Amino acid sequence: MTVPNALSVLRLFGVPLFLYLLLGPHADGWAVVVLAAAGASDWLDGKLARWLDQTSKLGMLLDPAADRLYIFATLLAFVVREIVPWWIAAILVGREALVGVCLLVLRRYGYGPFEVSYLGKAATFNLLYAFPVLLLAQGGSTAAEIARPIAYAFMLWGGALYLWSAGLYVYQLVLAVRRSPGVLAA
C-alpha cells in the first residue's frame, strides 16, 4: 500500500459519509467539506504518486474509480434532493455506461483500458468543482444567488466535456478494433 493509494482508499471511504450528510441530516456545509477534501486528495494522490515515484496499477484503478463513485453518488443525491433534474444525471451515468461497454470491447480484443485524456480530466475537474458550488447555490441567500450561475456554468461545461471525451473514447475504440487481426475494415 503506497501513500497515494492510501489517499485514494480514504477518498473511497468518504463516499458513504458524503451521501449520509446529503441525504440524512441535509448537512450541506459538511458535505461540501467532505467533497472538497476528496477533491484535494484526488489532486494530492496524483502529485505524490509522481513525486514519490509510487505510481501503481492499483492506483491507476483506484483513482478514477473514486472519481466515478463520487460523481455517481453526488448525482444520485442531487436527483433525490431535486438539485439537478434526473435527465442530467441519466446523461452523465449513461456516458459512464458507454465507456464501460467500450472497456469490455477493448478487453475482448486484447487491449487494456483507454489512456486518460486531458479532456476527460478537465471534464471530471469541472463536474467535481460544480458539485460543491451547486450545494452552495441552494436557498435564497445572496451567496446562493451568486453561486447559482457559476455552478450551472461548471455543470454544463463539465457535462459537455464529459460527453465529448466519451465520443473520443468511442473513436479510439473503433480505431483499435479496426487494427485488430481478423477484423475487416469497413
Question: Looking at the structure, do residues 102 and 76 belong to the same domain, yes or no?
Answer: no
pTM (2 decimals)? 0.80
Lowest mean pLDDT among 18-22, 44-48, 175-179: 44-48
Indicate the average pLDDT of the chain.
Answer: 89
pLDDT digits (tens, 9 = 90+) for 94-133: 999 999 899 999 999 988 887 778 898 899 889 888 988 9
Tell me which of 27, 58, 82 is where a domain ends: 82
Contact 11, 68 (CB under 8 A): no
Question: Looking at the structure, do residues 46 and 73 belong to the same domain, yes or no?
Answer: yes
Contact 132, 147 (CB under 8 A): no
**More reliable by pLDDT, 160 or 39:** 160
Our count of domains for the chain comes to 2
Number of Cβ within a 10 Å radius of residue 120:
21
Q: What is the per-residue pLDDT for 185?
A: 47
Q: What is the per-residue pLDDT for 183?
A: 59
Domain residues for 27? Answer: 1-82
Average pLDDT score over residue span 126-142: 90
